[in-house]
Structure formats: structure tokens, C-alpha cells
Amino acid sequence: MGKNGFWRGTNVLITGINGFIGGNLAQGLLGKGANVFGLIRNRKQDTFLYFEDLASKITLIEGDLCDQELLSRIISEEQIHCVFHLAAQVEVGVAAANPRLTFETNVRGTYTLLEAVRRFPLTVKAVVVASSDKAYGSYGRDQMPYKENYPLKPRYPYDTSKACADMIAQAYASEIYKLPIVVTRFCNIYGPGQLNFSAIMPDAITSALGYTQFVPRGDGSQVRDFIYIEDVVGLYLLIGEALAQDPQKISGQVFNAGTNSPISVREVLKLIYSVAGNKKDFAQVSAAMRRRRTTGEIDCQYMDFEKVNKYFGWKPRHGFKDGLKKTLAWFRRYNEHRFKNASR
């Protein structure tokens, strides 16, 4: 582990590798020379991993995140050094409709993985568990940005599932088990490969490019923070390396990451349609938003990067508009492929 640069030759397991963040992280690790292993639920190929032709460069293992014996075999047989736990049921609407499925994946899946890690303490040197800003629950706008020491007080099913997984990870990092674990709570991540079209960015971008019709889910008054995927991958690599090299220094820590640049959903949509050169359709979206009321979502969420900057010297390199331009360019290429195939 760590020949000619820390990640070169390092065996890394990514859960959720076929998702948006997992695929981008895999790409970053491959670029650093890591040996990447990924747990996937199925062989779905309409993903960033396959679209960017990364799957053939990775050892993919099909199976259930809640299968502890499978996870134990992967860790022991493949001599996994670092784990990035990204697998989750991430759709807020699905969580509301099917909370049990969400709790099974996000909560049970997390403690099943950490139990497998606990069986091989000499093999695994670092575990990074992805929580979410949603785990904090609702705080007043005057209490933003979220700080790592804020109590978690979720209310809705998805938020609760992430908070539970978050606290479980911290328990495994405690003095009882002393596993090398760090928890990350990031704001809304966007960029190439985000193909969950229930999320605002890919949904609105596809509409702004003229492929679909955007249906607002609220009045656009909610405030959010958006961080570009390249910045997130860079931070994950910094955290994983620091944790593996000096676990006593940061194990058990929680790290927030955002841009500290809050923006309303309405303004996000306005920028997307503007950068896409489609201001006409935004006028229709704006009118539709005025007739809607937002329910079941946290009003205001954003984060700064004070702690990660102190520990790792990290700060976001992309402003929202810069990241949006890159994201739109990727979606133009992806949608040409997607809708061309759909019309055959």
C-alpha cells in the first residue's frame, strides 16, 4: 500500500460504486493507481461507471449490502485496505413511501458492513462513511451553516436513516471497537453522472436542454448549498489517506463540507436555464412554482468548510456557475446518447 504515492496499489472497496458519487470516486482512484473493488446490487448499465467505460477496469462484485458473510469474504480475500461506504437509498420520495426499505439499506447496510470490518481489524486501515447534511434535521436560518457539533435531530424517514447510520459509525469508532472510521456530512453534490432524476440538478438540466418538462415540487424558496463532484472526490481522497496513515489523529471525527454559499432553489433553476440558453422555459417553470407549496422538506441547509480546511487545507475549487457549466456539457453528451438509443 502506498508505493509511488499513497493510493497506488492500494486495495479499495467502494459500496455504491455504480452510483453517481461512487462512479466518480472510482474514476479518481483509478487515476491514482488504486486497485478498485465495487459492491453492486445489480448490473444496471445506465450509469456513470459504464457510460465512461470504467467498469472494465474495476473488480465488480454483485451482492447484497446486508450480506455480512459476502462482505467479510470480500474484505479478507481481496485484502481490502480502505473502504468508502457510499451505498444508500437516497431518494427522499422513496423514503417517504417506503421507509422500511430505506432503513434496511441505510441503517442495516451500514452496521452489517462495519461488523464485517470489525472481523478484520488488521486488514482495513480506513473506513469513510458518507452521511449527509440531512442528518442534522431542521435548524433555523440564523443557525446556518451547520456545524459538526450540532446535535442530530432528523424528522423525516430519509434524514432519520442517515442520522442512524452516522451515529452507528461513530459507535464503531469509539474506544470500545476503535475502528478507523471517519464520517462525512456533505451538502448537495452535483456534477457529471448524477442520474437520479428525482434530484433537482439532473431533472432541471435535462429539461433546460429540451428533452423533458420540469415539474416543480415546491415554491423554490428552500435554501440549499451545492458542491461540485470533483471537489468532493478530492476531499474523499485526502480524508482516506490521512485516516489510513494516522488513524489516531482523525478516527471518530465528523467532517462537514459545503461551499458556504447558500442559494435558493428558485435561483438554482434560473441559473440552470440561463446557462443552458433557455430563459423562455424558465418563465413557465417560475410561474408553476408560484402555485406550489413545499412540504416534507427542510427549509434551509448549507455548510462551510472550516474544519476540513483546518485539517486538510481543503476548500472547494469550483463556484456554482463553473461547476454548472461542466455539468451541462456532460449532460449534453449523455442525453444525446440516451435519447438517441431510446428512439431506436
| E strand residue ranges, 212-275 | 223-224, 226-228, 254-257, 263-264
The answer to whether 50 is a known catalytic residue is no
Question: In Å, how far are 32, 135, 312 from 4, measured between CA atoms?
Answer: 10, 38, 21
Reading the block at residue 195, the C-alpha cell is 442520474
- Per annotation, catalytic residue among 111, 158, 172, 228: 158
Determine what percent of the chain falls in helix, strand and coil, rounding each to the nearest 5: 45, 15, 40
Question: Residue 65 and residue 87: Cα distance in Å, rounded?
Answer: 8
Query: Catalytic site residues?
Result: 158
